[in-house]
C-alpha cells in the first residue's frame, strides 16, 4: 500500500499531463487533494502528485494493469473522485476513438465506482460536439448495453453509418453513459456527472481545427467570444468532483461561454454556419 495518510483524500485524473487534465491536477493539489495522475506521457509538470501511471488508454490490457497497480498500491477508501479527462480527436482511427473516448472511460468508471465509498464522485469529459446525443439516444443505449468486445465488433460494422463522425459519436456516448451510470449507482452515495467544453486553448486545439475545419471553429468562437482557458474548464470539473455539489448527479454541464445557450434560444444564426468537416480515419 502507498504511504499516503488514510485521512488524505485522493483523486485520480486521466489525461493529466497537459491541457485540461493538467489544470485539474493543479487545482486539486492547491485544494489539498492528493492526486494520482494517469497519462501516456510524463507526470504533469509543476504539480505535486503522489503517483503517476503511464497508461495507453487505447490498450484494454493496459487499463486492466492500471487497476491492478492502483489496487496494489493504494487504499481505495481514500479515493474521492475519478476524473476522466483523457481523450483523442477524430483525426485518430475510428477504433482508437471509441476505445479511448468511451470504452476506457466506462471500464475505469465501473472498476473504480465498485471500490469507492459513499460521497465519492466521477466526472467525465464530453464535448459540445456531443450536444445532439438525444438524436441517437436509442443507438447509444443499445451500444452501452454491450460488453467491450461486442461494442468493438458493433463499431467495426457501423462506425461509418451512425450519422456523425466517430469523435462526435464517442462524445455523445460518454454523455449518455454518464447519465446511465448515475442510475447504476443510485443508492450508493456515489455520483457521476459529465462536463462538455467548447473550444479550449490547449495543445489539441490545432488538431480539432484539422478535424472540424478552421471556418467552423472560428464561427463557434465568434459566439463564445474566445476559446476557454484550460483552468476555466477545470474549475467546473473541480466543483463537480470535490466541491459543494453533492446533490448534482447525472448532470450534463456545458461550459462553452454561452454558445450552446445561443443555439438553444435562437440567437446563434445556424443557417449561415460553415459546415463542419467530417473526419473518419480507418
| Catalytic annotation, residues | 167
Q: What string of DSSP letters covers the chain?
A: -----TT--EEEEES-SSHHHHHHHHHHHHTT-EEEEEESSPPPTT---SEEEE--TT-HHHHHHHHHHHHHHS-GGGEEEEEE-----TTSBHHHHHIIIIIHHHHHHHHHHTTPPTT-EEEEE--GGGTTGGGGHHHHHHHHHS-HHHHHHHHHHHTTSSSS-HHHHHHHHHHHHHHHHHHHTTTTT-EEEEEEE--B-STTHHHHHHHH-HHHHHHHHHHHSSPBPHHHHHHHHHHHHHSS-TT--S-EEEESTTHHHHHHHT-S-GGGPPPPP---B-
Amino acid at each position: 500500500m502507498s504511504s499516503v495518510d488514510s485521512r488524505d483524500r485522493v483523486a485520480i485524473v486521466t489525461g493529466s499531463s497537459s491541457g485540461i487534465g493538467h489544470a485539474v491536477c493543479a487545482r486539486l493539489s492547491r485544494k489539498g487533494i492528493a492526486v494520482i495522475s494517469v497519462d501516456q506521457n510524463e507526470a504533469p509538470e509543476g504539480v505535486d502528485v503522489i503517483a503517476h501511471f503511464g497508461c495507453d488508454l487505447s490498450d484494454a490490457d493496459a487499463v486492466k494493469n492500471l487497476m491492478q497497480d492502483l489496487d496494489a498500491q493504494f487504499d481505495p477508501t481514500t479515493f474521492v473522485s475519478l476524473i476522466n479527462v483523457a481523450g483523442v480527436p477524430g483525426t485518430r482511427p475510428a477504433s482508437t476513438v471509441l476505445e479511448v473516448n468511451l470504452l476506457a472511460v466506462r471500464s475505469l468508471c465501473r472498476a473504480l465506482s465498485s471500490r469507492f465509498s459513499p460521497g465519492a464522485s466521477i466526472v467525465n469529459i464530453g464535448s459540445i460536439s456531443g450536444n445532439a446525443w438525444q438524436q441517437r439516444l436509442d443507438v447509444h443505449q443499445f451500444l452501452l448495453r454491450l460488453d467491450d468486445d461486442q461494442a468493438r465488433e458493433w463499431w467495426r460494422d457501423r462506425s461509418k453509418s451512425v450519422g456523425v463522425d466517430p469523435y462526435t459519436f464517442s462524445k455523445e456516448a460518454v454523455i449518455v453513459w454518464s447519465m446511465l451510470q448515475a442510475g447504476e449507482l443510485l443508492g450508493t452515495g456515489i455520483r457521476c456527472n459529465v462536463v462538455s467544453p467548447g473550444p479550449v486553448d490547449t495543445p489539441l486545439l490545432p488538431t480539432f481545427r484539422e478535424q472540424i475545419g478552421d471556418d467552423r471553429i472560428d464561427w463557434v468562437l465568434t459566439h463564445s467570444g474566445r476559446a476557454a482557458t484550460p483552468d476555466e474548464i477545470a474549475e467546473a470539473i473541480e466543483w463537480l468532483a470535490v466541491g459543494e455539489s453533492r446533490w448534482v448527479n447525472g448532470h450534463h454541464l456545458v461550459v462553452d461561454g454561452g454558445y450552446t445557450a445561443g443555439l438553444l434560444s435562437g440567437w446563434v444564426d445556424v443557417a449561415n454556419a460553415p459546415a463542419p468537416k467530417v473526419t473518419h480515419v480507418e
